[in-house]
Amino acid sequence: MKKENSQKTLLIIGGSGFVSGTLARHAESSGWQVWVVTRGQRKVPEKVHHIIVDRHQHRSFQEALIKVDCHWDVVVDAIGFEPRDARQDIELFASRTNHLIFISSDFVYHPAYRQFPQPEDASIYMPSGYGGKKRLCEIEFIQSKKTNINWTIVRPGHIYGPGSMLGCLQCHARDPQLLRRLLVREPLKLVGGGYFLQQPIYVADLAKLILDMAGKPNTFSKILNAAGPDVIESWRYYAIIAGILGVDLRIEEIPTRIYLAEHPESYSYLCHRIYSLEKLKLTGIKLPSTPINLGLQKHVFSLISNENIG
């Protein structure tokens, strides 16, 4: 099994998405030799090795990776969702990487049993849905003690930054029309008036955090929250964006109970999402540091420059 050269090597399962694409670009510009795995339906960053295969077609995925015949310093699974995805990561990469990093989600935490701030150890996790499946993936790694693989699980909260739409709360989460709505002074419909707390992480900070973890024994066999430096109410997130545009924020409150009755699938969004970073701090990794005002400014300007304002 070959190792190409003295450069650090990284395989990203994903590579054309918001987080995975940012990670690929950041790694390549930082001197890593990067491989990405995608279905070939979207553009991937330049100068990366592109492996085209559907990650969820497990036999084809395995055959494609075996054919490449590389040993990577780090593998990051940015799109694993089903428990069998995690099982295949463990089986396939135990002999093909020094360190596997799995990107999970803060949605594993059950909204009714959250602590403030929320540590990584929870009494009850989401039993189903997106968060429930991510938790089942985590359990695969936790129970993989008989397999010789160094793993780390990262649980980011709301991720924002260039490459994605803006919006952290129903009814304007990842809203492609958000800037247009604000510019024409349309009231934003915010569940609970937007008073749920958020701790967003800037996407470039998340990419840097993942690369900083690479190969660090202090991160092995650990689940780590990943969140930014600022805790703000959701309405304030939108107010910052409005201020960048030079307009006033107008809010129309949607009662939480009524919204949840009609949209029970949104349960995980409608709670305070703030996190303890003590375990992350103890690893010695530098904590995410981009202030929310600066990160949102960069995000807004990226959308304007791409004329992606609705």
DSSP-assigned letters across all residues of 77-133? ESS--SHHHHHHHHHHHTTTBS-EEEE--GGGB-GGG--SSB-S--SSB--SHHHHH
If you write DSSP's letter for every residue of 135-184 in order, what string do you get?
HHHHHHHHT-TTS---EEEEEE-SEESTTS----STTSTT-TTHHHHHHT
Is the model's pLDDT at 310 over the cut of 90?
Answer: no
- CA-to-CA distance for 264 and 190, rounded, in angstroms? 16
Alpha-carbon gap, residue 1 to 134, rounded angstroms: 31
Assess contact for 213 and 101: CB atoms under 8 A. yes
C-alpha R_g of the chain: 20
Contacts of 21 (CB under 8 A, 6+ apart): 14, 15, 44, 45, 163
Instruction: Considering only residues 281 and 307, tell me which one the structure prediction assigns the higher pLDDT.
Output: 281
Q: Has residue 218 got a pLDDT over 90?
A: yes
The H or E element that residue 18 is part of is helix 18-29
**Which residues on adjacent β-strands are paired with residue 245?**
none
pLDDT tens digits for range 238-259? 999 999 999 999 999 999 999 9
pLDDT (average), residues 296-302: 98
One-letter amino acid at 26 equals H
In the DSSP assignment, the letter for residue 250 is -
Q: Please state, in angstroms and rounded to a whole number, the distance separating the CA atoms of residues 57 and 65.
A: 12
* Residue 105 φ then ψ, to 5°: -160, 150
The sign of the CA dihedral 289, 291, 292, 298 is negative
Over the chain, what is the mean pLDDT? Answer: 95
**In this structure, what token pair is assigned to residue 54?**
């559907």
pLDDT digits (tens, 9 = 90+) for 64-82: 999 999 999 999 999 999 9
Rounded distance between C-alpha atoms, residue 261 and residue 266, angstroms = 10
User: What strand order describes the sheet that includes 100-103?
Assistant: 49-52, 33-38, 9-13, 74-77, 100-103, 151-156, 222-226
The pair of three-digit structure tokens given for residue 148, joined into one six-digit string: 């010789």
**Chain segment 96-145, per-residue pLDDT in tens:** 999 999 999 999 999 999 999 999 999 999 999 999 999 999 999 999 87
* Domain 9-162+199-229+274-289 grouped into CATH 3.90.550.10: no
User: What is the per-residue pLDDT for 46?
Assistant: 86
pLDDT at 219 over 70: yes
Instruction: Name 73's Cβ contacts closer than 8 Å, sequence gap at least 6.
Output: 8, 9, 10, 97, 98, 99, 214, 215
- Residue type (1 letter), 270: L
Contact 53, 36 (CB under 8 A): no
Query: How does pLDDT run across 10-44, given as a tens digit for each residue?
Result: 999 998 899 999 999 999 999 999 999 999 998 88
In angstroms, the CA 44 to CA 33 distance is: 14
Strands (E), 227-294: 232-233, 251-254
